[in-house]
Structure 1
Amino acid sequence: MSFTNLRKYFNVILVQKLIVAALLISILSSFLAITLKHITEYLEHSFLVKATKQNFLMFVFPLVGLFVIYFMRQYLFKRKENKGIKEIFDATKSKNKSLPLYKVPSHFINGLFTVAFGGSTGIEVSTVVSTAAIGAATHKKENQFRNYKTELICAGITAGITILFSSPIAGILFSMEVIAKKKNKVFFLTNGIAVLVTYSLLLILEEEPLFSLIIKSWNYYAIPYFILLGILAGYNSVLLTKMVLFFKKQFGEIENDFHKILIGSLIIGTLLFIFPQLYGDGYHAMKSLFVLNNPTFNFSFVATFFGILILKPIITSATLASGGDGGVFAPSLFIGAFLGLLLATFLNTVFNVNVIPINFMILGMAAVLSASLHAPYTSLFLVCGMINDYTLFFPILMVCFVAKYTSKFVYPYTVYTYSATVVK
């Protein structure tokens, strides 16, 4: 056999192995994501109902959740903290570093306990790191995969994001925009398989979109107001980013882990007592917003919305700094929905411009997420997938770019790209 034929033969074998690996990663990651999603939804709803009936539980649940996470980290997960998406960046940028397999149960369990017990974040980052660890473990099992660690890690992430938001395009775009930041044939092969597997699973299980909405239209005269929303979203994302970094720095100076948990749970409990809407990932509160029909712009409305917009970054930061697992996905969507409705109600009441509130909520969700991740295309398809509607495609795309570049102008880092060694 000639050298050329031999090389072709080994290339065929490599491709076959990559296909099998991608299939395995996609199936395992899909079932992990869908399991975490539904268990968290059930427990979060159950605990929230209990806590709203007996308010003292708003203080008890976060304390219990953070203590359970702490003890599991100490005795089950090698006493190592979860660093979120930064762990993935470290693994993809280094030939020597990888994601150990224990990261799968670690992030799964910690994400579940954080959100179900009231921690004001989401399971998105927990899902991303868990599924990335599945890809990394598969990469280490075969010597021929040594050059394709990033592609296999991204296959798991693509599957996880697709399941969470019912959007295959958002899944692959997140892997491309945020994690890999590169494109090659192997990336599209492995991640294309992940998209096909997860989308097929979504169809088989008849998974419903997170929000069931009907978007009728949008008006061209509202474009200047969309741009204003994008600018405000950029500033709000910077507030969230800086708050998370500030809290992590301050809590990092507390040597006693029990003190961190006690202080963090006290902050969380107090803010949940004031605004139960801040409990967990906040999707329950967002769903209640979508059924509001032209709310009245009065003192109570303004005070509630301003309070939530100011306190959400604080409670999210306290959750993460005191040991909770998660990131800024769900908080960004939450802030965006409240910001959008506040702006639309203000414009309609004060200036009588007759904009459509539900459109502003959806645009706000995408805009703040885009600004927080610096990923406009991911945010566009992710939000469209969440509502299963593409009517607002072009307005969302516009506000995503406005928000991203506003946030980059004000502060060039995200919580995932910031390094303590970088001078602000």
Structure 2
Amino acid sequence: MNKTTQLRKNHKAITSQKLIIASVLIGFSAVFLAVSLKKLTEHYEEILFHKANANWFLFLVFPLFGLSVIYFLREYLFKKKENKGIKEIFESTGSPTKRLPVYKIPSHFFNGLLTVIFGGSTGIEVSTVVASAAIGSVAQQKENVFKRHKTELVCAGIAAGITALFNSPIAGILFSFEVISRKISRFYAITITIAVAISYTFILLLDEKPLFEVVITTWHLKAFPYFILLGLLAGVNSVYLTRCVIYIKSKFIEIEKYSTKIIIGSLTIGVSLLLLPQLYGEGYHAVKELFFNAQNLTFSTSFAVTVLGILFLKPIITSVTLASGGDGGVFAPSMFLGAFLGLLVAVILNTFFNANVIPINFMVIGMAAMLSASIHAPFTSIFLICGLINDYTLFIPILVVCLISKTTAQFIYPYTVYTYKPKNIN
């Protein structure tokens, strides 16, 4: 063996050792960040939501306060830079020079928390993803040997964060591949596996419970045509969500004064919450209540008006939340919409067509279908939703419906909120 070959082997060995150490640190940091953000958000969102339910005027006050605090934090603490969500990750991994700076970690952490607990109709998932990606990016900047491994370390942070949020290591791995990286290398496999293993071990030690306590007993083959219908509807509805976000953001960009954006945004959010309190924050409180009552729900005019109002208003209020300065993305809104869409389809089928379908199954499948169509990541959606309920009974129908919803959405509109680029931007 000549000297050059030996040096190359030594270099690879050193790089591998340092990547392993970095992956351990990234995994631990990402899971700590994700769990902290999740716990804080759940705790304070519940408190403030109950306060607003008891005092209706708080539905108007909370969004104004939350968006204003986020604005002042950005102006005086976070270098006057707006958070762009997952597009920031694409910009970083797609360029050899761009980095996710360290201040993006607290920026997304606090802005995501403030957005949701004060009623902004989005979720902390994207805030967690970008903050976790920033952890990986910062680690990459610390060592010269990591120059070629920015994507690997960024994806390690993302995968660990998703694993912690949804109690699903497979969803973490698939999301980092399907949405961010789209390619696999030896170093990629090493960093992702280690970071996810650290994250999942931490979750097991904490004995984290599934977000939704749902009992899935069975599913029937005769329901497959109805599942396909749900997949088609989810694909169409996801395009409505995507187009709302893109359109409303483009209109808010034209508003020069930030104070005007905040006032318009908070008023829109506040009035929507007065009409439909289920839209408050992530909306998981409403989904949990639906799961509890789904089997006993029957079709009525008030039920239909409420659900249709939610399906119409949720994309608008989510878009306004993001356009007026809130931090977040379409993860939680997609799952929220999918649950209500699935329930509506099931209740209509049972009432008017005697289909005898299981409403809870349609809610779970609807959540996966909407998420798959919104982010164009069907396999991530399958394992993510199954991880949320800690049950894989519906794996096969979820797989089929997720592929149908994603294909439908892509056929109607080929972009997601992450991949769309305005025509005036190169």
TM-score when normalising by structure 1: 0.99
- Aligned match for 1:363, one of 362, 365, 369: 365
* Structure 1: runs of 5+ lacking an equivalent: none
Alignment map for 1:402-417 (pairs within 5 Å): 402-417=404-419
* 1:294–1:357 contact (8 Å) kept in structure 2: no
1-structure distance, mates of 2:29, 2:259: 35
Residue number in structure 2 paired with 1:110: 111
Q: After TM superposition, give the deviation of residue 421 of structure 1 in Å.
A: 1.6
* 1:110–1:324 contact (8 Å) kept in structure 2: yes
1-structure distance, mates of 2:381, 2:245: 20
Residue number in structure 1 paired with 2:394: 392
Q: After TM superposition, give the deviation of residue 2 of structure 1 in Å.
A: 2.2
Residue number in structure 2 paired with 1:318: 320
Residue 148 of structure 1 aligns to a residue whose secondary structure is helix
1-structure distance, mates of 2:424, 2:348: 39
Are residue 278 (structure 1) and residue 293 (structure 2) matched? Answer: no
Residue 296 of structure 2 aligns to a residue whose secondary structure is coil
Q: After TM superposition, give the deviation of residue 11 of structure 1 in Å.
A: 1.1
Residue 291 of structure 1 aligns to a residue whose secondary structure is helix
Residue number in structure 2 paired with 1:45: 46
Query: What is the letter of the counterpart of residue 143 of structure 2?
Result: E
Residue 421 of structure 1 aligns to a residue whose secondary structure is coil
Residue 147 of structure 1 aligns to a residue whose secondary structure is helix
Residue number in structure 2 paired with 1:372: 374
Q: After TM superposition, give the deviation of residue 298 of structure 1 in Å.
A: 1.0
Alignment map for 1:5-154 (pairs within 5 Å): 5-154=6-155
1:381-417 per-position Cα deviation (integer Å, ceiling 9, x unaligned) = 0000000000000000000000000000110000000
Query: What is the letter of the counterpart of residue 241 of structure 1?
Result: T
Q: After TM superposition, give the deviation of residue 213 of structure 1 in Å.
A: 1.1
Q: After TM superposition, give the deviation of residue 10 of structure 1 in Å.
A: 1.6
2-structure distance, mates of 1:360, 1:162: 24
Residue number in structure 1 paired with 2:385: 383
Query: What is the letter of the counterpart of residue 368 of structure 2?
Result: A
Are residue 240 (structure 1) and residue 241 (structure 2) matched? Answer: yes
1-structure distance, mates of 2:103, 2:148: 23
Residue number in structure 2 paired with 1:351: 353
Q: After TM superposition, give the deviation of residue 5 of structure 1 in Å.
A: 1.9
Query: What is the letter of the counterpart of residue 354 of structure 2?
Result: N
Residue number in structure 2 paired with 1:302: 304
1:11-31 per-position Cα deviation (integer Å, ceiling 9, x unaligned) = 111100000000111111110
Are residue 211 (structure 1) and residue 215 (structure 2) matched? Answer: no
* Structure 2: runs of 5+ lacking an equivalent: none
Residue number in structure 1 paired with 2:175: 174
Residue 232 of structure 2 aligns to a residue whose secondary structure is helix
2-structure distance, mates of 1:238, 1:12: 47
* 1:61–1:118 contact (8 Å) kept in structure 2: yes
Query: What is the letter of the counterpart of residue 366 of structure 1?
Result: A
2-structure distance, mates of 1:324, 1:2: 56
User: Sequence identity of aligned pairs in percent?
Assistant: 62
1-structure distance, mates of 2:298, 2:397: 25
Alignment map for 1:261-276 (pairs within 5 Å): 261-276=262-277
Residue number in structure 1 paired with 2:331: 329
* 1:320–1:326 contact (8 Å) kept in structure 2: yes
